[in-house]
Structure 1
Amino acid sequence: MTAEKEAEVNELGALKDHNHDDEVKETEANSGSGSALHLTYGLNDKPSWYLTLLMGFQHFVIMSSGCAFGVIILFDAACVQDEVDKSNLIASSFFVMGITTFVQCTLGTRLPIAQGPSIVFYPVAIGIMAGDSLECPDLQVKDNATLHHNGTLAFSQPGEKIWHRRVGQVAGTIAAGSIVQLLIGSTGVMSHLLRFVSPLVVAPTIFLIGFSVMGAVLNLCAPQFYISIVCCILIIVFTYVLDRVKIPIPYFSIRNRKPLVTRFAAFSTLPILLSMAIMYALCHLLTVTNVLPSSPEAWGYGARTDIKSSAVLNAGWFRVPHPLQFGSLSVNGPGVVAVGCAILVSIMESIGDYVTCAKFCGSPRPVGFPMNRGIAAEGFGCFLSGLFGLPVGPTSYSNNIAAISMTKVASRRVMHATSAIMVIFGLFPKLSALFVCVPDPIIGGVLLATIGIICGVAAGSLSSVRMDRPRNAFVFGFSVFLGVVVPLQIKASRHRDATSMSDSAQAIAMGIAQDLLSNEMLVGTGTALLLDSCLPGTRKERGLEAEAEGADSVTPGSCQTEAELRWQVDCYESTAFHRFYSRHLPILHRLPLFPGRLSERRANAVCENRETAI
């Protein structure tokens, strides 16, 4: 009898200690300031309005270049030659990505994550546009006299028809493929799919994403390659050499009533914009001194700063982007498959961003419903992008997540301000036209550096894989090799097969097969997935054992106490909304998009059973 009482007392003491730990964790989480991470503003904190605008504009500056260049890189493939059309496309990109950012921060993960064009959609878009039968017209804007007052070219009607059709086909395909992402997010199946996708599948995919767009990047660098190289070197130096250098900035403190000096890490925070500003000033100097040639046929003419001045002059002051603004949409059947693969890659990238952002914000790991909501929000963004005629889809931006770690500002309100600034830029095409005026070689230099980093991420994703094993080396190398060689061969033989085959069922089937096999990412990912699944190898060798360490915190059936669940709700759910549906619509707790209802007694039973099983 005494032994039973002693065991009961020990069990009660352990339960109290467990609950005490949960209360401490809950108190630290609900403090909002993130004391453990020394955050200046926590996730639910609300800075003053002027600080909110200032810090929101800083986030906008960090992601603005990616948001604009995400569309600019596709101009050549889409035959967009009118500078006014370019500014309208960039403005639409800001507008749609601003809405998607607001949805992500409010209804999605509710983390301060900026949304912008994803690089994974570039190979798909370029492949679909390359399959168009009409070629781009050879149009040259020699001076401003060739432009009408409404900003259209006197001879640009054929080009407009071509780019409307090409962009409409890509946008329609992305809108159709977004249904896959919406279903994955709303059903919560991604946590189960991740168990079968090893880093050996992700790494070739990421590498081929960067490789597949290098042709478009080199076309931008071609007008003056030296300018592109210098711009790329500046970005590298600012990012990795001068990253710890802080510039003193004097200001007058109203509170202290005296001038003070603050230090700003400009090189690490704004390396791309600083490099662009320096190179633009250099190109302008070379233009006014006539060092750069004035003949459009001469090498180096594309680096002049006066050949696109009409973009700002002819762009409208105010324009509201709207659905189907560039014409009707169409769907490319094989392209939907490629878009689906791109979406899976984007989801895996975004999940890593969610976990990293939550860590920087002092929030719990986004388990279950926050992750599902985030994926669904990005699916909504893909559908919105396609509906508005954009040839790209959104994803989370890692640079803005890194900025949270540097600035110690994790307020959701700041990212709401960023989304508002993006929408404002989207409503005023003249502001967006400033990005069009940047010479192509400067844009090419920026993309050389950024896409090079993307290719390097592929190597980082293999850190948990035993690459000293011949099996893994073969899977990675052979997948990359086929992802490069097969599309090159298909593209080379496309014209020959098209002229030798009649319009029959065989020709249609061959065309679909060529469209699928001409996509580098689809070939490489499919090869890696097939080899990694079929060739014998342990989970530890494949890198799946390291991924499984956090599996319990990702799956819906994980061990969570009521305090931990309440911590999640405070960070990832609106308190008023949660109180409303908990009282009036309790059935929503059973859906993957909403937090579950878990009593403390049941949570302890789950924990006890799990520990017993282990």
Structure 2
Amino acid sequence: MAQSSDPNNRPKPGPLPPAPHSNDPPAIPPSSWAKRTGFRPRFSGETNATDSGPISNPPAPKPAVNGIAAQPANAQVQVQGQGDKDQAVKKRREGEGRLPRKPGVNRQANNAVAEAPAAPAVQPSRRGVRNGDVENPVPRMVNDEFVSRQAHMKYELRDTPGLVPIGFYGFQHYLSMMGSLILIPLVIVPAMGGDHEDMSMVVSTVLFVSGITTLLQANFGSRLPLIQGPSFVFLAPALAIIKSPEFLGLNGNNFKHIMKELQGAIIIASAFQALLGYSGLMTLLLRLINPVVVSPTVAAVGLSFYSYGFPQMGACLEIGMVQILLVIMFSLYLRKISLLGHRIFLIYAVPLGLAITWAMSFLLTEAGAYKYDGCDVNIPTSNMISDHCRKHVARMKTCRADASHALNSSPWFRFPYPLQWGIPVFNWKMAVVMCVVSVISSVDSVGSYHASSLLVASRPPTPGVVSRGIGLEGLCSVLAGLWGTGTGSTSLTENVHTIAVTKMGSRTAVELGAFILIILSLVGKVGGFIASIPQVMVAGLLCIMWAMLVALGLSNLRYSEAGSSRNIIIIGLSLFLSLSVPAYFQQYGLSPNSNSPVPTYFQPYIVASHGPFRSQYRGVNYVMNTLLSFHMVIAFIVAVVLDNTVPGSKQERGVYVWSEPDAARREPAVVKDYGLPFRVGKMFKWVRWVGL
């Protein structure tokens, strides 16, 4: 019999349950925020299959039981949709591995959706959600710069939207990296005693070689959109060779003599790097290189020049500080302002800051702010009689916009050619130093390959592709040594930041930009214009670029568990010892009151003459004292030893995941991303360690 709906006739509830005994322990709340919210951390980008997961073979089918083959749970769904699936596979094969992309979804996501089998329906759990369990975990926080390429990149690796957009983006790509391309010649040429004409010629040579090597790397190397150029990794050894004891006593213009010594060391070290890549040894070294190794090594490169940047800028603070503040304002405070769909201030922060500061220096120079009675900036300091002029000559040369005559003296057309400084001089001790540095350069490039591939390519490269890229970087550095740029040529670390900021990862755009760079290098006035940048602005740019290099190095930790105590200790020890150990070598045997002819900001590079390592072999003393005074060498040694000996899981270490060669060769998209053009790959198909 149905109960009446009258509320007065409803049965009254029974008595309340007894209260818990006062001696019972209280309920224990969840022990952590993660348990209360259901948070599941994703420390490593390697765990995301759509970003950096390797290409692996499909799992083997389940074995038959009692003669009956195992059937998947969704077999009926698969049979019903078999016709549609075959049609999708046919279209995908006709498109050579590249499905039509939906708005906001990348190519790889479409492939994953098309290839994934239909999942069986999940029955809702009858068990209620307990206190502390959360059905929707908190999503991971994503940086506004390094977000997934699905929503970030405008053009990926093989995109070619048209000649005009590609030309614009290619020129923009190089312009945003202008500081990395031109700053090293502006440092080493004055250190070698070169004049403004020598500096103009070296700048033009650097632009020419950078364009040539970028074209080679984009077609026959890693095939990633990475600009090649003079790396800051080679700056410290170049300065150490320049300030060697045998060169300190030279009189007159010793620029060409020292440049030939640098060329010989670079050529030998580059041949060693090419052998490291093309012999397959790099594939073995990749097992030791992980984010915990790359991060402190690259960061130590930027930290090693702290004694040069601001001391050089201190001679003219009113210009140098304005430049740094402008770049900070453009790149941080105004970074989200968009004009015509482009973040102008973020992309062109360095060129805009340089242009405004240069105009300010020109106005102050014309107004007579740096003019002193009876003093001429063109007269050498040794010929000045007045103490008043000697006191202000450094400020005049640093601050004045017309201190350099490179623009007026440079020709309109000049073609850089090999051996333009003379026949290289080969010295074994300098070559050994450069060979060790080439290994550090390879470590830097490995991090750039991995990070850039996550942004622009369908999959990470295979170990063979990485080895091929390192080998070609060695050949490119041989070209840099023959032409005489003063440093080796490698993939610039700033490439990753530039790709993320400009949202441009097209290989064609970088190649077109390289052609533009080659044409500009043939115009002598371009090199003269760059060489005429006042020294204080060069120092300000170096402060910014070295700080960016430190940040880019530390950003590699996002692929590992940055909060792990293991990684924290390894990174901390690597960075601290990379500063402390070289300081011991650099300060050993120096008297505090000694009057050294070398400026204070160059004294860390004369360690070969007074270092603590003293044996009966002078060459060995030179090599050991010089190498152990390099911050990046100490950081690399400490990090690679600790990371590969201290136990830790792959997720904790953030081990780089590269694509499997066998599966990559069967993936059309990966073959088109990394395969060599013009059927060159078929000629070297038997060389497994330099290809797919």
TM-score class normalised by the smaller sequence: 0.7 to 0.9
Letter in 1 for 2:675: E
Number of the residue aligned with 1:479: 577
CA distance in 2 between counterparts of 1:400 and 1:330 reads 33
Does residue 277 of structure 1 match 2:355? Answer: yes
CA distance in 1 between counterparts of 2:288 and 2:85 reads 34
Number of the residue aligned with 1:213: 305
CA distance in 2 between counterparts of 1:135 and 1:434 reads 30
SS of residue in 2 equivalent to 1:588 = coil
Cα RMSD (Å) of the superposition? 3.7
Report deviation, 1:424. 1.3
Report deviation, 1:407. 4.5
1:477-534 deviations in Å (ceiling 9; x for gaps):
5522443323313473899996999x99544543443333333333443344456666
CA distance in 2 between counterparts of 1:208 and 1:121 reads 13
State the identity as a percent: 24
CA distance in 2 between counterparts of 1:499 and 1:521 reads 20
Number of the residue aligned with 2:278: 186
Does residue 346 of structure 1 match 2:449? Answer: no
CA distance in 2 between counterparts of 1:547 and 1:244 reads 31
Aligned length: 543
Q: 8 Å contact 1:353–1:401 — kept in the other structure?
A: yes
Does residue 305 of structure 1 match 2:424? Answer: no
Number of the residue aligned with 1:90: 203
- Against the structure 1 CA distance between its residues 367 and 490, is the aligned structure 2 distance closer, same or farther, given a 3 Å change threshold? same
SS of residue in 1 equivalent to 2:490 = strand
- Against the structure 1 CA distance between its residues 485 and 3, is the aligned structure 2 distance closer, same or farther, given a 3 Å change threshold? closer
SS of residue in 2 equivalent to 1:539 = coil
CA distance in 2 between counterparts of 1:267 and 1:533 reads 42
Kindly report which structure 2 residues correspond to 1:374-385, keeping only aligned pairs within 5 A, or say none: 374-385=469-480
SS of residue in 1 equivalent to 2:469 = helix
Kindly report which structure 2 residues correspond to 1:5-404, keeping only aligned pairs within 5 A, or say none: 6-7=68-69, 29-31=97-99, 36=106, 37=150, 40-80=154-194, 82-135=195-248, 159-160=252-253, 162-197=254-289, 199-218=291-310, 220-247=312-339, 262-294=340-372, 295=375, 296=377, 297=390, 298=392, 300-301=395-396, 302-308=398-404, 310-404=405-499
SS of residue in 2 equivalent to 1:116 = strand
Larger deviation, residues 349-358 vs 523-532: 523-532
TM, length-normalised to structure 2: 0.70
Letter in 1 for 2:529: L
Does residue 538 of structure 1 match 2:647? Answer: yes
Q: 8 Å contact 2:335–2:346 — kept in the other structure?
A: yes
Kindly report which structure 2 residues correspond to 1:520-539, keeping only aligned pairs within 5 A, or say none: 520-530=631-641, 537-539=646-648
- Against the structure 1 CA distance between its residues 24 and 546, is the aligned structure 2 distance closer, same or farther, given a 3 Å change threshold? farther
CA distance in 1 between counterparts of 2:196 and 2:665 reads 57
Number of the residue aligned with 2:121: none
CA distance in 2 between counterparts of 1:203 and 1:10 reads 45
CA distance in 1 between counterparts of 2:615 and 2:653 reads 51
CA distance in 1 between counterparts of 2:652 and 2:74 reads 35
- Against the structure 1 CA distance between its residues 429 and 506, is the aligned structure 2 distance closer, same or farther, given a 3 Å change threshold? same
Q: 8 Å contact 1:361–1:410 — kept in the other structure?
A: yes
- Against the structure 1 CA distance between its residues 562 and 312, is the aligned structure 2 distance closer, same or farther, given a 3 Å change threshold? closer
Report deviation, 1:130. 1.1
Report deviation, 1:101. 0.4
Report deviation, 1:42. 4.3
Number of the residue aligned with 2:671: 569
CA distance in 2 between counterparts of 1:331 and 1:60 reads 33
Report deviation, 1:398. 4.7
Number of the residue aligned with 2:688: 591
SS of residue in 1 equivalent to 2:512 = helix
User: When you count helix as a share of all residues, which structure comes out higher?
Assistant: 1
Report deviation, 1:127. 0.9
Report deviation, 1:214. 3.1
Q: 8 Å contact 1:239–1:267 — kept in the other structure?
A: yes
Letter in 2 for 1:570: K
Report deviation, 1:435. 1.0
CA distance in 1 between counterparts of 2:610 and 2:504 reads 60
- Against the structure 1 CA distance between its residues 8 and 57, is the aligned structure 2 distance closer, same or farther, given a 3 Å change threshold? same
Larger deviation, residues 2-11 vs 348-357: 2-11
Larger Rg: 2
Q: 8 Å contact 1:335–1:515 — kept in the other structure?
A: no
Kindly report which structure 2 residues correspond to 1:412-491, keeping only aligned pairs within 5 A, or say none: 412-462=507-557, 464=560, 468=565, 472=570, 475-476=573-574, 479-490=577-588
Letter in 2 for 1:236: I
Does residue 518 of structure 1 match 2:629? Answer: yes
1:79-116 deviations in Å (ceiling 9; x for gaps):
22x11110000000000010000001111122222112
Letter in 1 for 2:368: N
CA distance in 2 between counterparts of 1:396 and 1:84 reads 28
Q: 8 Å contact 1:223–1:440 — kept in the other structure?
A: no
Larger deviation, residues 437-446 vs 26-35: 26-35
Report deviation, 1:170. 1.9
SS of residue in 1 equivalent to 2:229 = strand
- Against the structure 1 CA distance between its residues 71 and 58, is the aligned structure 2 distance closer, same or farther, given a 3 Å change threshold? same
Match of 1:547 among 628, 649, 654: 654
CA distance in 2 between counterparts of 1:476 and 1:407 reads 32
- Against the structure 1 CA distance between its residues 58 and 518, is the aligned structure 2 distance closer, same or farther, given a 3 Å change threshold? same
Q: 8 Å contact 1:56–1:418 — kept in the other structure?
A: yes
CA distance in 2 between counterparts of 1:500 and 1:488 reads 7
Larger deviation, residues 518-527 vs 234-243: 518-527
CA distance in 2 between counterparts of 1:67 and 1:136 reads 31
Number of the residue aligned with 2:387: none
CA distance in 2 between counterparts of 1:341 and 1:245 reads 44
SS of residue in 2 equivalent to 1:510 = helix
Report deviation, 1:418. 0.8
CA distance in 1 between counterparts of 2:460 and 2:618 reads 51
- Against the structure 1 CA distance between its residues 333 and 20, is the aligned structure 2 distance closer, same or farther, given a 3 Å change threshold? farther
CA distance in 2 between counterparts of 1:46 and 1:445 reads 36
Q: 8 Å contact 1:32–1:43 — kept in the other structure?
A: no
Letter in 2 for 1:572: Y
Any stretches of 5+ residues in structure 1 without a counterpart? 138-157, 248-261, 596-614
Q: 8 Å contact 1:381–1:394 — kept in the other structure?
A: yes
CA distance in 1 between counterparts of 2:461 and 2:280 reads 13
CA distance in 1 between counterparts of 2:468 and 2:338 reads 38
Letter in 1 for 2:361: C
SS of residue in 1 equivalent to 2:654 = helix
Q: 8 Å contact 2:290–2:653 — kept in the other structure?
A: no
